[in-house]
Amino acid sequence: MSEDKKPEIEFPCKYPIKVLGEAHPDLNQHVIDVMNKHAPTITKSDLTAKNSSKGKWQSITVTIIATGKPQLDDIFTDLKTSSRVKMVL
């Protein structure tokens, strides 16, 4: 019997990271600060933000050129350090 393997990501590659949290300028700044630390080549065009219909929540998607799993792990860990962040995908 063969085990099903998860598909492995080939690095470097474009990798979208979505952050869901409370709509607040602090959330945007936190995401930008983390990305500048771990993926300093991002530009404004790599980032999109959408507010919920009532404006309480915001999703921010940043597409980076991921260099490896350790980089992604560090980004996910650092993004979760803000109390405004509710989920990182």
The domain limits of the chain are: 23-88
Instruction: Give tens-digit pLDDT for 22-76.
Output: 999 999 999 999 999 999 999 989 999 999 999 999 999 999 999 999 999 999 9
Distance, CA of 84 to CA of 12 (rounded, Å): 30
Q: Which residue in 9, 60, 8 sits closest to 35, CA to CA?
A: 60
Instruction: Give tens-digit pLDDT for 63-76.
Output: 999 999 999 999 99
Contact yes or no for 58/49 (Cβ under 8 A) = yes
Which token pair is 10?
A: 């080939």
